[in-house]
Structure 1
Amino acid sequence: MKKTILLLAILVTAVAGSYAQKGKVSSAQTLKDSGKLDKALEAINEAIDPNNEKAEKSIPWPRTWEVRGEIYHDIYKSKDENYKKLATDPLATSLESFKKAIELDTKGTGSNGVKINLTLLINDFTDQAVKGFNENDYELALKSFEQILDIQSMPLMQEDPPTVDTVIIFNAGLAAYNAENYDKAIKYYKEAAKYNYNEARTYELIAASYTNQQDTVNALAALQEGFEKYPESSSLLVQMINIYMNANKTDDAMKYLELAIEQDPENASFYFAKGALNDKLGNTDDAVTSYEKALELKDDYFDAYYNLGAIYYNKGVKQLDVANAVPTNQPDKYEEEKTKADKEFEKAIPYMEKASEVNPEDTYSLESLKQLYYRLKMMDKFDEVNKKLEDLK
């Protein structure tokens, strides 16, 4: 009889020890609910301390980790700076804790509570991501969006039918892009593109990410893929044209430029680009035609005015070289060739004047006018432009 009593006493002691540590979890919960987060954290840390023999029962208990996650979540939300100092990254620790609870909860007995907590966590990760953007902390924003995606990928959080949060995926790409983490930007933008999110714009950003990595091959591949899906997108065409022009692939650039004009014949920038390309190829007459068409569509197009002025100015300079090459014993021939140069300079003046009118603070057009007025001995206008340049210094 005494042996039986002794055995029961040992059993009761063992059970009491188990419940004592689970009681620490309950105590941590109570302290958390009463707002005593420092004490709650002390209690839960004791319950998960591997060096504490009494924690053997509470460490593998899913509820322990769920409470720990709730405590860290409350630390994040606390307005008390003393409590905020209790953790460096409370949301991340909260997420780790809930994931541990899920791992240990093989029967799914606490899944509803954890699911609610994870849903609340998503809201705060979203707020943290927005804060990161507002403060230009794009690394924080990226990390927060990735943590949201991590939560959404958990089987516990899956819906039937499954849904894909393309907004978060795209924003993760945007955060990565701003953080100059172009590999991740490409990864998330490509994922968003699978679901047609933001349509052509997403392909533009994929291409921009590759371009920032000096990878024009993949940039063009992304643009071409996007253009196949969105053939009405002029912005994709523009990027392709720019890449081809920068790579001196003039035939390809002109092909897509003609296609762009065909799609949007009222877009002055396309005619300007065609003018610039023809100018680069030495097709001066075609360049002039394209620039003039751009001005028909946009009468305050500074660059078109300036480039037209530059074409005639440069023609004048070349013709002046011809005049200067005339032997000194042929003064009549020299005057004839010089007159041709002056006529080109005269053609340049209206365009440069208009350019300066559109952008009065542009020193390049003013300097060009200064040279033109001087060459043509228009000294009153020369003095006027010279004063403008002095005033801008």
Structure 2
Amino acid sequence: MHKNQLALEAIKEGKWEEAAKYFAEALEENPNDPVLYVNFGNLLASSGDAERALKFYEKAIEIDKGTATAYYGIGTVHYNAGDYHKAKTFFDQAEKYGLAHKDVYFMLGMSLYQLEQPRLALPYFLRAVELDEQDASAHFQYGLCLAQAGHIQEAKKEFEKTIDLDQHHADAYYNLGVAYAFEENREEALKMFDMALSIQPDHLLAGNGKRLLEEMI
């Protein structure tokens, strides 16, 4: 078995030091393989060593500027560091060089959402759910953007889909409650807030929403 594959198997088993050893050996044998640099970068990023991970991603691009997964890796590092402008730039590059995975579209959407541009994020979240209808997080984020754009009925469907996929998604219940409250359906809104609180008793927003509705009633 190739040492790159041995490293990936080691990662699956949680043996990170062993994986790093295999990657290092693989790079000694194939120093111009960009995939090895990306995989080693992913390992370093997962272990919290973002600075070294960036160097490995950058080396992969130096060898082959079309290494889409390296751009995605750099984008993820910048996103985790809170630099959403840079993150979006590199996710765009990943897509440009052919990475059409739903995670790319999801992270493009997340970057724009963090940049307070939910309308621009909408098509990316839509594409993410089209590529993976079982992704609860993508449905939830898509719902948030729809709600902020004023498309309440469509947002409700996405929150309901989120709950179908993840029955313990407190935020989806809360936001569904907000949507019902917006429609002045206070009874259903209260049910949703109660569901959110049953899953997460310290959910402050759901608690506040419930209190306000009860006062109104």
TM-score when scaled to structure 2? Answer: 0.63
Query: Which residue of 132, 135, 155 corresponds with 1:253?
Result: 155
Name the residue aligned to 2:107. Answer: 205
Quick one: which amino acid aligns to residue 285 of structure 1? Answer: E
Aligned-partner Cα distance in 1 for 2:78–2:207: 39
Aligned-partner Cα distance in 2 for 1:116–1:298: 50
SS state at 1:282 partner: coil
Q: Is residue 2:126 matched to residue 1:224?
A: yes
| 1:219 to partner: Cα distance | 1.6
Q: Is residue 2:93 matched to residue 1:187?
A: yes
Name the residue aligned to 1:283. Answer: 185
Query: Which residue of 187, 196, 210 corresponds with 1:308?
Result: 210
CA contact (8 A) 1:176 1:185 kept: no
**Using a 3 Å threshold, how does the CA distance of structure 1 residues 174 and 311 change in structure 2: closer, same or farther?**
same
CA contact (8 A) 1:206 1:222 kept: yes
Structure 2 unaligned regions, length at least 5: 1-28
Structure 1 unaligned regions, length at least 5: 1-114, 154-163, 316-343, 345-393
| 1:146 to partner: Cα distance | 3.5
Q: Is residue 2:73 matched to residue 1:171?
A: yes
Aligned-partner Cα distance in 2 for 1:288–1:214: 28
Aligned-partner Cα distance in 2 for 1:213–1:294: 27
Name the residue aligned to 2:63. Answer: 151
**Using a 3 Å threshold, how does the CA distance of structure 1 residues 172 and 294 change in structure 2: closer, same or farther?**
closer
**Using a 3 Å threshold, how does the CA distance of structure 1 residues 192 and 171 change in structure 2: closer, same or farther?**
farther
Aligned-partner Cα distance in 1 for 2:150–2:161: 18
What are the superposed Cα offsets for residues 171-214 of structure 1, whole Å, 9 maximum, x if unpaired? 122245444323233222565742x3xxx443321112333555
What are the superposed Cα offsets for residues 15-61 of structure 1, whole Å, 9 maximum, x if unpaired? xxxxxxxxxxxxxxxxxxxxxxxxxxxxxxxxxxxxxxxxxxxxxxx
Aligned-partner Cα distance in 2 for 1:287–1:219: 27
Quick one: which amino acid aligns to residue 288 of structure 1? Answer: L
What are the superposed Cα offsets for residues 292-333 of structure 1, whole Å, 9 maximum, x if unpaired? 2333444454432332112223x2xxxxxxxxxxxxxxxxxx
**Using a 3 Å threshold, how does the CA distance of structure 1 residues 287 and 148 change in structure 2: closer, same or farther?**
same
Aligned-partner Cα distance in 1 for 2:198–2:48: 42
The higher relative CO (CA closer than 8 Å, separation ≥ 6) is in 2
Aligned-partner Cα distance in 1 for 2:121–2:158: 15
| 1:149 to partner: Cα distance | 1.8
1:1-393 equivalences under 5 Å are 118=32, 141=54, 145-152=57-64, 167-177=69-79, 178=81, 179=83, 180-181=85-86, 182-188=88-94, 191=97, 193-194=99-100, 196=101, 200-212=102-114, 215-313=117-215, 315=216
Aligned-partner Cα distance in 2 for 1:172–1:186: 11
Aligned-partner Cα distance in 2 for 1:202–1:249: 24
SS state at 1:303 partner: helix
CA contact (8 A) 2:60 2:67 kept: no
SS state at 1:173 partner: helix
Aligned-partner Cα distance in 1 for 2:179–2:172: 10
Quick one: which amino acid aligns to residue 130 of structure 2? Answer: E
TM-score when scaled to structure 1? Answer: 0.38
Aligned-partner Cα distance in 2 for 1:146–1:222: 26
CA contact (8 A) 1:192 1:202 kept: no
Q: CA RMSD in A?
A: 3.8
Aligned-partner Cα distance in 2 for 1:272–1:212: 20
Quick one: which amino acid aligns to residue 252 of structure 1? Answer: E
Quick one: which amino acid aligns to residue 145 of structure 1? Answer: Y
Identity score, percent: 16
CA contact (8 A) 1:173 1:189 kept: no
Aligned-partner Cα distance in 2 for 1:306–1:271: 14
Q: Computing the radius of gyration over CA atoms, which structure comes out larger, 1 or 2?
A: 1
Quick one: which amino acid aligns to residue 107 of structure 2? Answer: L
Aligned-partner Cα distance in 2 for 1:260–1:134: 30
| 1:257 to partner: Cα distance | 2.0
SS state at 2:191 partner: helix
**Using a 3 Å threshold, how does the CA distance of structure 1 residues 244 and 135 change in structure 2: closer, same or farther?**
same
| 1:253 to partner: Cα distance | 1.1
Aligned-partner Cα distance in 2 for 1:176–1:219: 18
